[in-house]
């Protein structure tokens, strides 16, 4: 196994908020990631490289050893499972909530509601624990349209400011989970590369703590 550490980063909002945190931990890509079509980047440390992939792929890359460390949202980890992964650090960025939502004033009564979501596994577990029967409809985006168009009675989705919900006549109902970006480490990497991984963990922990202190 190579001694190079590969850190898998999630595209999108998480990437934008992770890069400054990595910089605080003295880990910087050699080029501007946000303006590059590359997916693999060298850093200011010869033994650390950054991999930029879809958020949903991060747990898979890390669990199977293609990357040693990953940054992924807790929603992704809950949905896709975290077998073979350690989750040593909450990075305290990209904070939001995973919630059930419906049209303002909607009353579901005793019928079996239809719930639209891309978080099928989380949704199934959540309603099952409450002994509530629902029909789950998997969608990949624009969840707010589902109740508007009569496709679903509720949605399960990420809620940040709630502005999109309000703009579409909806309201949040129940919080399923508080979400933030987490650092994950592969089980095999933790055993075989611990001496390399521990300093990265320590630096990121210190950076997170400093930010919390400053805020």
Contact 132, 156 (CB under 8 A): no
Residues of the chain within CATH 3.40.190.10 domain(s) are 5-94+180-214, 97-177
Give pLDDT tens digits for 94-125. 999 999 999 999 877 668 999 999 999 999 99
For residue 1, name the pLDDT band (cuts at 50, 70, 90): very low
Residue 212 has pLDDT above 90, yes or no: no
Q: Domain 5-94+180-214 adopts which CATH fold?
A: D-Maltodextrin-Binding Protein; domain 2 (3.40.190)
CATH, domain 97-177, list 3.40.190.10, 3.40.50.300, 3.50.50.60, 3.90.1170.40? 3.40.190.10
The pLDDT value recorded for residue 2 is: 58
**Which parts of the chain are beta strand (E)?**
5-10, 40-42, 48-53, 69-73, 85-90, 96-103, 114-117, 135-138, 154-159, 170-179, 181-186
């Amino acid at each position: 196994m190579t001694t190079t550490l590969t850190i898998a980063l999630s595209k999108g909002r998480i990437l934008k908020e992770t890069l400054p945190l990595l910089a605080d931990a003295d880990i910087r890509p050699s080029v501007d990631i946000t303006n590059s079509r590359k997916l693999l980047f060298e850093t200011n440390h010869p033994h650390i490289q950054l991999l930029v992939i879809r958020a949903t792929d991060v747990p898979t890359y890390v669990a199977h050893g293609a990357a040693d460390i990953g940054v992924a949202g807790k929603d992704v980890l809950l949905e896709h499972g975290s077998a073979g992964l350690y989750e040593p650090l909450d990075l305290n960025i990209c904070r939001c909530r995973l919630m059930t939502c419906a049209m303002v004033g909607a009353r579901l009564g005793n019928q079996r509601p239809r719930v639209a979501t891309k978080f099928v596994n989380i949704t199934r577990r959540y309603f099952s624990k409450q002994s509530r029967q629902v029909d789950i409809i998997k969608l990949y985006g624009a969840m707010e349209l589902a109740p508007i168009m009569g496709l679903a009675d509720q949605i399960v989705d990420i809620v940040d400011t709630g502005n999109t919900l309000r703009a579409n006549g909806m309201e949040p109902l129940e919080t399923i989970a508080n979400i933030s970006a987490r650092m994950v480490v592969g089980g095999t990497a933790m055993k075989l590369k611990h001496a390399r991984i521990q300093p990265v963990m320590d630096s990121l922990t210190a950076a997170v703590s400093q930010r919390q202190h400053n805020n």
